[in-house]
């Protein structure tokens, strides 16, 4: 997960000062020294770090902190707000042209994931905004680039405009916009060519395309794994093209996160989307305030809820709530919930969105192997319908049969049954709490 090292360092630093009833200038000075080191180690641009430290320091020794009833917590609030501002302040949404189609140029170096991101963005626009995008294959140099976008189009059931690799990219872009008008597509996503590094020929071509189609957005796709190089690339592209936003790919990887923190300050342009995996739906709008909260260990409940709303069946959720209240949960319900949670994304990433998850024993650095989930599913599916409905039927001989049928050992079967019983008890208690609260009080998550 991105920012892992930075998050650990900053959370440790914030913890030292958070509980202080009185904060001195010396306390702030020592804290800022640690914060500076943490940011530099995360590959944040040194000029950005210098300005950030200055801004936080000024506020942290000001009246809003010194006269606060909880100065320690106020300092953490200041750091959170300044970190949010550093990454853009608030979410920057994709442009919508007054008259369709909205033209989006996808630019960047080779290997950053431009073509794949074009497909992801098209899917996002269709699923989340009910738009009708057209993808245009204007990379005529990279072998099989046109075919890659066409294959993506078939996979996503998305229209792709292409004219092969013997036509000028400027002409392809112009014809794509014409086609979009004819077919009433409200977005045109132009997948342009990249190079291994920034060069004059590339920039001249991109400038010509921009001049020809006058895009509403010029989105630069950069690889977060390249650290400060990503920021340098962003600066170069912005100088020549005037980019309007950045898509940061591989932000889910083992990256220090410095590029994501630096790019807005260096270019003045916001990160609009973040790639969070290899699947075609693994593209999310970038929320600076949510990312800052996650870095500082405050969780990201809003993103968690949005994932749940997208992937959890509301009718099934209501039925589950009814069963929880009557303590009527079955292993079939358990399987169904497991399937819906899997659709929300990697479980270890979901856990990181929970406030305080980093402090919870057993959750910190937790790695959830998909094989473990497959083993659980195998055990449950080896039970009969009657056993799944009534786990009290599971005697020793039945457990041996289930273990043999699922290819697991008897200890794993016993462990799963015990965990299921404990989960039922916990959910019954939570349902009881909900029942006992007045309207507007405690609510079950995602219910």
Domain membership flag for residue 96: no
128 annotated ligand binder:
no
Phi and psi (nearest 5°) for 393?
Answer: -75, -15
Calpha distance 9→6 (Å, rounded): 5
72 annotated ligand binder:
no
Nearest to 243 by CA among 218, 272, 264: 218
| Whether 126 and 247 share a structural domain | yes
175 annotated ligand binder:
no
| Whether 215 and 234 share a structural domain | yes
| Whether 170 and 203 share a structural domain | yes
Domain membership flag for residue 341: yes
| Whether 139 and 72 share a structural domain | no
| Whether 288 and 336 share a structural domain | no
Position 445 scores a pLDDT of: 37
Number of domains in the chain: 3
192 annotated ligand binder:
yes
Residue bearing tokens 């009657």: 386
| Whether 154 and 278 share a structural domain | yes
| Whether 225 and 294 share a structural domain | yes
108 annotated ligand binder:
yes
pLDDT, one tens digit per residue, over 179-223 is: 999 999 999 999 999 887 878 888 999 999 999 999 999 999 998
Can you read off the two tokens belonging to residue 149? 């976008």
251 annotated ligand binder:
yes
Regions in the chain scoring below 70 on pLDDT: 1-2, 63-69, 252-256, 298-328, 340-370, 427-447
The conformational region for residue 404 under phi > 0 = left, psi -120 to 50 = alpha, else beta, is alpha
The CATH number given to whatever domain includes residue 57 is 1.20.120.140
Domain membership flag for residue 93: no
Calpha distance 244→104 (Å, rounded): 10
Q: Is 133 helix (H, G, I), strand (E, B) or coil?
A: strand
119 annotated ligand binder:
no
| Whether 119 and 195 share a structural domain | yes
Position 224 scores a pLDDT of: 82
Calpha distance 345→350 (Å, rounded): 7
Say if residues 116 and 152 touch (Cβ distance below 8 Å): yes
| Whether 236 and 177 share a structural domain | yes
418 annotated ligand binder:
no
322 annotated ligand binder:
no
- Going across the sheet that includes 133-138, the strands are 160-161, 133-138, 187-192, 102-107, 217-223, 245-249, 271-275, 283-285
Calpha distance 126→210 (Å, rounded): 24
Residues, the chain: 447
Phi and psi (nearest 5°) for 187?
Answer: -135, 140
Domain membership flag for residue 338: yes
Calpha distance 440→447 (Å, rounded): 13
pTM for the model stands at 0.68
Nearest to 333 by CA among 420, 211, 205: 420
Name the helix (H) or strand (E) containing 124: helix 114-129
The CATH number given to whatever domain includes residue 264 is 3.40.50.300
Domain membership flag for residue 109: yes
**Among the three residues 34, 55, 86, which one is the final residue of a domain in this structure?**
86
Q: What is the DSSP string of 56-101?
A: HHHHHTSHHHHTSSSHHHHHHHHHHHHHHHHTTSS--PPP--SSSP
110 annotated ligand binder:
yes
Q: Which residues neighbour 20 within 8 Å (Cβ) at sequence distance 6 or greater?
A: 27, 71, 72
Q: Which residues neighbour 419 within 8 Å (Cβ) at sequence distance 6 or greater?
A: none
Q: Print burial letters for 1-35: b (CB count within 10 Å at least 16), e (below 16).
A: bbbbbbbbbbbebbeebeeeeebeeebbeebbebb
Domain membership flag for residue 443: no
Domain membership flag for residue 323: yes
Say if residues 217 and 242 touch (Cβ distance below 8 Å): no
Q: What is the DSSP string of 369-414?
A: -HHHHHHHHHHHHTS-HHHHH-GGG--HHHHHHHHHHHT--HHHHH
195 annotated ligand binder:
yes
| Whether 336 and 191 share a structural domain | no
| Whether 214 and 79 share a structural domain | no
Name the helix (H) or strand (E) containing 249: strand 245-249
Position 446 scores a pLDDT of: 32
258 annotated ligand binder:
no
59 annotated ligand binder:
no
73 annotated ligand binder:
no
Domain membership flag for residue 97: no
Position 340 scores a pLDDT of: 67
Position 242 scores a pLDDT of: 93
**Among the three residues 298, 317, 341, which one is the final residue of a domain in this structure?**
298
268 annotated ligand binder:
no
Can you read off the two tokens belonging to residue 412? 């794993």
**Among the three residues 277, 298, 319, which one is the final residue of a domain in this structure?**
298
Question: Rounded to the nearest 10 degrees, how much is the dihedral formed by the CA atoms of 164, 166, 167, 169?
Answer: 80
Q: Which domain holds residue 23?
A: 4-86
Which residue(s) pair with 81 in the sheet?
none
| Whether 294 and 311 share a structural domain | no
The CATH number given to whatever domain includes residue 381 is 1.10.260.30
């Amino acid at each position: 997960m991105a920012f892992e090292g930075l998050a650990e360092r900053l959370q440790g630093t914030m913890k030292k000062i958070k509980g202080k009833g009185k904060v001195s200038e010396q306390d702030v000075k020592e804290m800022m020294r640690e914060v500076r080191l943490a940011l530099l180690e995360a590959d944040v641009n040194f000029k950005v770090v210098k300005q950030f430290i200055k801004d936080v320091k000024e506020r942290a020794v000001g009246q809003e902190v010194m006269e606060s009833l909880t100065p320690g917590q106020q300092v953490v609030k200041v750091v959170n707000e300044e970190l949010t501002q550093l990454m853009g302040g608030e979410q920057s949404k994709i442009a919508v042209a007054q008259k369709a189609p909205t033209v989006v140029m996808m630019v960047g170096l080779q290997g950053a994931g431009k073509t794949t991101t074009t497909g992801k963005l098209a899917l996002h626009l269709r699923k989340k905004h009910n738009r009708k995008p057209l993808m245009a294959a204007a990379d005529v140099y990279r072998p099989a680039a046109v075919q890659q976008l066409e294959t993506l189009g078939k996979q996503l059931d998305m229209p792709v405009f292409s004219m092969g690799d013997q036509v000028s990219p400027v002409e392809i872009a112009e014809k794509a916009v014409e086609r979009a008008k004819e077919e009433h597509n409200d977005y045109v996503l132009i997948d342009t060519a990249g190079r291994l590094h920034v060069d004059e020929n590339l920039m001249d071509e991109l400038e010509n395309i921009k001049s020809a189609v006058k895009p509403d957005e010029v989105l630069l796709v950069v690889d977060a794994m390249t650290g400060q190089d990503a920021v340098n690339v962003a600066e170069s592209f912005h100088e020549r093209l005037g980019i309007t936003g950045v898509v940061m790919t591989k932000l889910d990887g083992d990256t220090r996160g410095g590029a994501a923190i630096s790019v807005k300050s260096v270019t003045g342009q916001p990160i609009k989307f973040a790639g969070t995996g290899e699947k075609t739906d693994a593209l999310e709008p970038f929320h600076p305030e949510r990312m800052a909260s996650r870095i500082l260990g405050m969780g990201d409940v809003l993103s968690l809820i949005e994932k749940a709303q997208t992937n959890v069946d509301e009718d099934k959720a209501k039925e589950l709530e009814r069963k929880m209240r009557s303590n009527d949960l079955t292993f079939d319900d358990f399987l169904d919930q497991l399937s819906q949670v899997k659709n929300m994304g990697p479980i270890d990433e979901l856990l990181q969105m929970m406030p305080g998850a980093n402090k919870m024993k057993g959750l910190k650095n937790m790695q959830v192997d998909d094989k473990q989930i497959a083993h659980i599913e195998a055990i449950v599916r080896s039970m009969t319908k009657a056993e799944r409905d009534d786990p009290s039927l599971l005697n020793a001989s039945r457990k041996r049969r289930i273990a043999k049928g699922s290819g697991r050992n008897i200890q794993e079967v016993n462990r799963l049954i015990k965990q299921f019983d404990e989960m039922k008890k916990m959910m019954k208690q939570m349902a009881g709490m909900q029942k006992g609260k007045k309207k507007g009080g405690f609510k079950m998550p995602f219910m």
